[in-house]
């Protein structure tokens, strides 16, 4: 209103407007009527004939006063529809619009403009295509590129940009609505040290500062879980300003990390202090605990402003000023202050467990762009940012349905007919805006329309706009516009290397000095069944690193360690208290070991049930003169000049003075067939140590002649109820299989001697998977590159 009464004394321009809202239309009408005012409409097609213009529909202009302003047949998806709607709401006839008097600095030839106008004609008007001559169809300077996959498309687009940069002062714009494709293109450009200026930036949640606060929010929401805790302590911003301090900090963290490997400790700070003590980093943990103390024990509900204040203070305690120094830090600080201000004004209360999700959602909507250091002639745009950008080469990438144009979202409340009656265009209106964006991009001197046949989710459908381009060109012209040079170069982009020879089954042959190692009773099975695993474990001294928060239910070894420890402590306590029941003792041990509550809830009842059955067996055996002689004793012997060592879970003395070797199993024990095949020799070798060597613990020595060998399993028996059962690998009673008691130890001595002669003292190679029947472990499969040669080995076996 003020401008109508007192027009501004300076020129006033409104340019690049594509919105057609009524309020904006009224403002633009005022600007257009100013003495020095002008409205510059982007890519308005003045060459379209009046019949085609009328075919676009009512576009906000009712046929009669008070009538509907939108019709069911309105061409909402046409690139000129929203401009017609804007002109109608401004009260301006298209004939009143004048052609801009200058040609753009990066504009295509006029002949292409006429072809583009024909390309987007509405349905009835597009019948004129049949009368168009080839030169009127041709889109000079426009190329079509189709790639097999989205990764190949990204590589091709990057190579096109790299080629264009060889021309001095030539600018390249890569336009796509697919953010995944944009990131791929940026990564491929980085191989040539080209840092493209990405207008979309990077979500704040993925930046260093955003990740740090996100990790701290996870700790506050879900407690100090090992994964989040180690990730937060190891974040690059933590102690990053001081190299020596960072090195010392990471040294302590690595020791703490190794100690936390395996099942998660119980919630709370005390189990973490216990882990730090075991790792020998008490001083480091004292400093680390101060950092996370403000994030512990949050109330179930709290004010959002208070939560944000605590997280901001924690981030600064972790990283110091580095948390706020760079672009991401400044964006994070602004976000926190604005969110705190709104939350404090409204008194927003949240569930503490929701703070991580709230921050993640907010940070995902904030884009962070680097302030400098990007390439001045290469840019990656979204559809909106590309409207005001111009370049010598425009690559429209990701030209598939669902990407360009994006799928219209249906209104969840109102049907299209109701929206039209209310004067609101339907969901397809945005398809028209996407078509207008493409029409604008086609005005560049050189244009590439690129798509992939498959994306990360599966096969794709070509964009309706690409199909129109191909239909306008026809088969012959489409072949002329097809890009062929870049796809041909992709295969030569990387230096060609000769085809690698097929990887053979590994069979290392170390020197005699390296072979001379001790044999553990648990490793003899590996040596005979899969010698390569023994080589990796005993000679290379490689051990599998457990993951953080490992699943205790999927790894019997983790459960076995806990059960062995409980039984050992119970046997020691029974020395002074023979009547000590195992159930309350085991329950107390579960609590003392601070076992995770989920593990206790699911496994403690069944383990205690099996342990109570063990107790009943021991009490019954004691009445027959059988007593527990040793628990968790380590032993060794010298056999053929090689040290053999192992640990016995339990050694009992029988009434006749001989020994019984007992091995605890959390699952099914080895079968008798495995024992006779030589793949389950642990019990027999422990018997040989008792006979030929000795077991010892705290000065107590155990030796003797073993005559019984038993597996005590905590699993569910095949016959009967409950948990816990016994099994012997020997042939006893009516058993049809197994080794005779008199043959048991000699058989194991022969197998042990054979292994020593062949591998430890001999020269046999440590061949991978030498015995396919051996059901061993698989932690060294990647080291032996199993998948590369096992198929070929199978093919050879089939051929044989």
Compute the average pLDDT of residues 647-674. 93
What are the distances in angstroms from CA 182 to CA 158, 178, 196, 370, 371? Answer: 10, 6, 10, 16, 19
Q: How many angstroms separate the CA atoms of 85 and 58, rounded?
A: 8
φ/ψ region of 631 (left if φ > 0, alpha if ψ in -120 to 50, else beta) reads beta
pLDDT value of residue 593: 66
Number of alpha carbons in the 13 Å side-chain half-sphere of residue 343: 20
- 199 Cβ neighbours under 8 A, 6+ residues apart: 369, 379, 380, 381, 382, 385
pLDDT value of residue 799: 46
pLDDT value of residue 596: 64
Which stretches of 74-157 are assigned E, i.e. beta strand?
A: 142-149
pLDDT value of residue 259: 92
Q: How many angstroms separate the CA atoms of 142 and 480, rounded?
A: 10
Q: How many angstroms separate the CA atoms of 292 and 269, rounded?
A: 10
Q: Which residues of 737-746 are buried (b: 16+ CB within 10 A; e: fewer)?
A: ebbeeeebbe
pLDDT value of residue 158: 95
Q: What are the start-end ranges of the H helices in 717-772?
A: 741-755
196 within 8 A of 379, measured Cβ to Cβ? yes
Residue with tokens 């506050």: 220
Lowest mean pLDDT among 124-138, 349-363, 478-492, 719-733: 124-138
Residue with tokens 């401009």: 83
In a 10 Å sphere around its CB, with 0-12 CB exposed, 13-18 middle and 19+ buried, how is residue 35 labelled? Answer: exposed
> What pLDDT band is residue 67 in, cutting at 50, 70 and 90?
confident
528 within 8 A of 678, measured Cβ to Cβ? yes
Query: Does residue 106 carry a pLDDT above 60?
Result: no
Query: Does residue 115 carry a pLDDT above 80?
Result: yes
For the chain, how long is the longest CA-to-CA vector?
120
Q: How many angstroms separate the CA atoms of 639 and 634, rounded?
A: 16
Q: What are the start-end ranges of the H helices in 406-552?
A: 416-421, 429-441, 464-481, 485-490, 512-515, 524-529, 531-534
Compute the average pLDDT of residues 599-619. 87
Query: Does residue 63 carry a pLDDT above 80?
Result: no
Nearest to 713 by CA among 704, 701, 722: 722
Concatenating the DSSP letter of every residue in 602-661 gives HHHHHHHHHHHHHHHHHHHHHHTT-EEEEEEEEEEEEETTEEEEEEEEEEEE-TTS-EEE
- Of all residues in the chain, what percent carry a pLDDT higher than 70? 94
Check residues 561 and 717 and name the one with the higher pLDDT: 717
Query: Does residue 795 carry a pLDDT above 60?
Result: no
CA 564 to mean position of chain CA atoms: 36
Q: How many angstroms separate the CA atoms of 489 and 491, rounded?
A: 5
What are the distances in angstroms from CA 599 to CA 171, 292, 352, 553, 744? Answer: 61, 25, 25, 8, 38
Phi, psi values for residue 262, rounded to 5°: 115, -160
Check residues 121 and 217 and name the one with the higher pLDDT: 217
Three-state DSSP at 229 gives helix
Establish whether the linkage from the previous residue to 388 is cis, with ω within 30° of 0: no
Query: Does residue 434 carry a pLDDT above 60?
Result: yes
Which stretches of 327-436 are assigned E, i.e. beta strand?
A: 349-351, 367-368, 378-381, 393-396
The dihedral sign for the CA sequence 788, 789, 790, 792: positive
Which tens digit of pLDDT belongs to each residue from 258-300?
A: 999 887 787 888 889 999 999 999 999 999 999 999 998 788 8
Tokens (6 digits) for 168: 């001095």
Q: How many angstroms separate the CA atoms of 728 and 712, rounded?
A: 9
Nearest to 789 by CA among 772, 771, 764, 768: 768
> What pLDDT band is residue 108 in, cutting at 50, 70 and 90?
low
Tokens (6 digits) for 252: 């302590």
CA 779 to mean position of chain CA atoms: 22
Which tens digit of pLDDT belongs to each residue from 199-255?
A: 878 889 999 999 999 999 999 998 888 889 999 999 999 988 888 999 999 999 999
> What pLDDT band is residue 423 in, cutting at 50, 70 and 90?
low
Q: Which residues of 393-408 are buried (b: 16+ CB within 10 A; e: fewer)?
A: bbbbbbbbbebbbeee
Number of alpha carbons in the 13 Å side-chain half-sphere of residue 233: 26
Which tens digit of pLDDT belongs to each residue from 440-461?
A: 888 889 999 999 999 888 899 9
Phi, psi values for residue 121, rounded to 5°: -60, 145
Query: Does residue 632 carry a pLDDT above 90?
Result: yes
How close are the terminal C-alpha atoms of the chain, in Å? 94
What are the distances in angstroms from CA 294 to CA 298, 307, 310, 341? Answer: 8, 10, 7, 21
751 within 8 A of 682, measured Cβ to Cβ? no
> What pLDDT band is residue 553 in, cutting at 50, 70 and 90?
low
CA 661 to mean position of chain CA atoms: 47
Three-state DSSP at 378 gives strand
Which residues lie across from 727 on neighbouring strands?
A: 711
Residue 506's H or E segment, with its range, is none
332 within 8 A of 324, measured Cβ to Cβ? yes
What are the distances in angstroms from CA 122 to CA 85, 118, 640? Answer: 16, 9, 93
- Of all residues in the chain, what percent carry a pLDDT higher than 90? 53
- How many residues are present in the chain? 800
- 241 Cβ neighbours under 8 A, 6+ residues apart: 320, 321, 322
Compute the average pLDDT of residues 115-122. 86
What are the distances in angstroms from CA 62 to CA 27, 68, 85, 87? Answer: 21, 5, 11, 14
Check residues 279 and 479 and name the one with the higher pLDDT: 279
- Mean residue pLDDT of the chain comes to 88
Q: How many angstroms separate the CA atoms of 454 and 151, rounded?
A: 9
Query: Does residue 786 carry a pLDDT above 80?
Result: yes
Query: Does residue 685 carry a pLDDT above 50?
Result: yes
Residue with tokens 């790299």: 162
Nearest to 59 by CA among 21, 79, 85: 85
pLDDT value of residue 420: 64
Which tens digit of pLDDT belongs to each residue from 15-48?
A: 888 888 888 999 999 999 999 999 999 888 888 8
SS3 content of the chain, % helix, strand, coil (to 5): 45, 15, 40
pLDDT value of residue 125: 85
**How crowded is residue 359: how many other Cβ atoms within 10 Å of its Cβ?**
27
Which residues lie across from 646 on neighbouring strands?
A: 635
Number of alpha carbons in the 13 Å side-chain half-sphere of residue 9: 0
pLDDT value of residue 554: 59
> What pLDDT band is residue 796 in, cutting at 50, 70 and 90?
low
Q: Which residues of 99-129 are buried (b: 16+ CB within 10 A; e: fewer)?
A: eeeeeeebebeeebbebbbbbbbbeebbeeb
Concatenating the DSSP letter of every residue in 366-410 gives -EE--SS-S-TTEEEE-TTGGGG---SEEEE---BTTTSSPPPPP
pLDDT value of residue 798: 45
Check residues 557 and 158 and name the one with the higher pLDDT: 158
662 within 8 A of 650, measured Cβ to Cβ? yes
Residue 695's H or E segment, with its range, is strand 694-697
φ/ψ region of 541 (left if φ > 0, alpha if ψ in -120 to 50, else beta) reads left
pLDDT value of residue 148: 93
Q: How many angstroms separate the CA atoms of 700 and 634, rounded?
A: 11
Residue with tokens 């010892």: 696
Three-state DSSP at 768 gives coil
Which tens digit of pLDDT belongs to each residue from 369-385?
A: 877 768 899 999 988 88
448 within 8 A of 393, measured Cβ to Cβ? yes
Q: How many angstroms separate the CA atoms of 640 and 751, rounded?
A: 12
Check residues 366 and 797 and name the one with the higher pLDDT: 366
């Amino acid at each position: 209103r003020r401008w109508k009464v007192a027009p501004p004394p300076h020129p006033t321009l409104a340019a690049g407007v594509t919105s057609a809202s009524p309020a904006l239309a009224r403002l633009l009408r005022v600007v257009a009527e100013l003495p020095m005012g002008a409205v510059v409409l982007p890519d308005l097609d003045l060459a379209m004939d009046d019949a085609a213009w009328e075919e676009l529909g009512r576009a906000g202009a009712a046929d009669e006063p008070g009538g509907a302003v939108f019709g069911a047949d309105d061409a909402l998806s046409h690139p000129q529809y929203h401009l017609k709607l804007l002109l109608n709401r401004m009260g301006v006839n298209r004939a009143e619009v004048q052609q801009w008097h200058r040609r753009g600095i990066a504009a295509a030839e006029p002949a292409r403009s006429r072809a583009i106008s024909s390309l987007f004609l509405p349905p009835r008007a597009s019948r004129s295509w049949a009368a168009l001559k080839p030169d009127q169809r041709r889109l000079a300077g426009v190329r079509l590129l189709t790639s097999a996959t989205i990764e190949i498309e990204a590589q091709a687009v990057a190579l096109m940009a790299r080629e264009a940069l060889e021309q001095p002062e030539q600018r390249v714009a890569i336009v796509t609505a697919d953010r995944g494709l944009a990131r791929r293109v940026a990564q491929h450009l980085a191989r040539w040290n080209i840092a493209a200026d990405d207008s979309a930036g990077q979500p704040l949640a993925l930046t260093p500062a955003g990740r740090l606060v996100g990790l701290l929010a996870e700790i506050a929401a879900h407690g100090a879980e090992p994964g989040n805790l180690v990730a937060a302590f190891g974040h690059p911003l933590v102690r990053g300003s001081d190299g020596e301090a960072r090195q010392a900090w990471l040294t302590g963290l690595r020791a703490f990390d190794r100690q936390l490997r395996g099942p998660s400790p119980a919630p709370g700070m005390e189990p973490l202090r216990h882990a730090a003590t075991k790792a020998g980093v008490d001083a480091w943990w004292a400093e680390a605990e101060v950092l996370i103390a403000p994030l512990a024990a949050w109330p179930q509900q709290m004010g959002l402003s208070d939560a944000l204040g605590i997280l901001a203070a924690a981030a600064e305690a972790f990283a110091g000023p580095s948390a706020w120094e760079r672009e991401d830090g400044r964006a994070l600080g602004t976000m926190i202050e604005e969110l705190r201000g709104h939350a404090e004004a409204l008194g927003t209360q949240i569930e503490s467990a929701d703070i991580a999700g709230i921050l993640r959602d907010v940070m995902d909507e904030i884009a962070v762009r680097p302030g400098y250091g990007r390439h001045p002639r290469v840019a990656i745009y979204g559809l909106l940012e590309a409207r005001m950008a111009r370049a010598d080469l425009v690559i429209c990438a990701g030209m598939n349905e669902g990407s360009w144009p994006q799928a219209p979202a249906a209104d969840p409340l109102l049907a299209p007919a109701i929206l039209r009656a209310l004067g609101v265009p339907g969901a397809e209106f945005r398809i028209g805006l996407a078509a207008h964006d493409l029409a604008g991009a086609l005005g560049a001197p050189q244009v590439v329309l690129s798509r992939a046949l498959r994306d990360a989710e599966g096969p794709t459908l070509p964009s309706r706009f690409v199909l129109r381009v191909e239909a306008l060109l026809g088969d012959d012209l489409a072949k002329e516009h097809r890009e062929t040079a870049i796809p041909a170069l992709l295969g030569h982009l990387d230096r060609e290397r000769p085809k690698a020879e097929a990887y053979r089954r590994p069979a290392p042959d170390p020197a005699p000095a390296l072979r001379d190692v001790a044999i553990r009773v648990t490793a003899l099975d590996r040596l005979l069944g899969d010698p390569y695993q023994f080589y990796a474990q005993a000679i290379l001294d490689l051990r599998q690193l457990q993951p953080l928060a490992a699943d205790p239910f999927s790894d019997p070894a983790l459960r076995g360690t806990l059960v062995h420890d409980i039984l050992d402590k119970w046997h020691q306590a029974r020395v002074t208290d023979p009547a000590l029941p195992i159930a309350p003792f085991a329950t107390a041990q579960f609590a003392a070991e601070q076992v995770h509550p989920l593990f206790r809830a699911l496994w403690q009842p069944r383990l205690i049930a099996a342990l109570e059955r063990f107790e009943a067996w021991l009490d019954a055996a004691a009445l027959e003169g059988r007593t527990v002689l040793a628990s968790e004793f380590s032993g060794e012997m010298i056999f053929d000049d090689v040290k053999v060592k192992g640990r016995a879970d339990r050694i009992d003395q029988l009434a006749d003075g001989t020994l019984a070797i007992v091995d605890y199993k959390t699952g099914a024990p080895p079968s008798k067939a495995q024992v006779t095949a030589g793949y389950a020799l642990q019990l027999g070798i422990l018997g040989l140590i008792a006979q030929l060597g000795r077991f010892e613990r705290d000065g107590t020595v155990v030796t003797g002649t073993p005559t019984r060998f038993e597996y005590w399993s905590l699993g569910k028996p095949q016959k009967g109820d409950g948990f816990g059962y016994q099994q012997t690998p020997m042939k006893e009673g009516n058993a049809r299989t197994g080794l005779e008691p008199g043959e048991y130890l000699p058989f194991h001595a022969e197998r042990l001697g054979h292994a020593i002669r062949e591998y430890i003292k001999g020269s046999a190679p440590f061949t991978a998977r030498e015995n396919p029947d051996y059901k061993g472990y698989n932690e060294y499969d990647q080291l032996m590159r199993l998948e590369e040669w096992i198929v070929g080995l199978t093919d050879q076996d089939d051929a044989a």
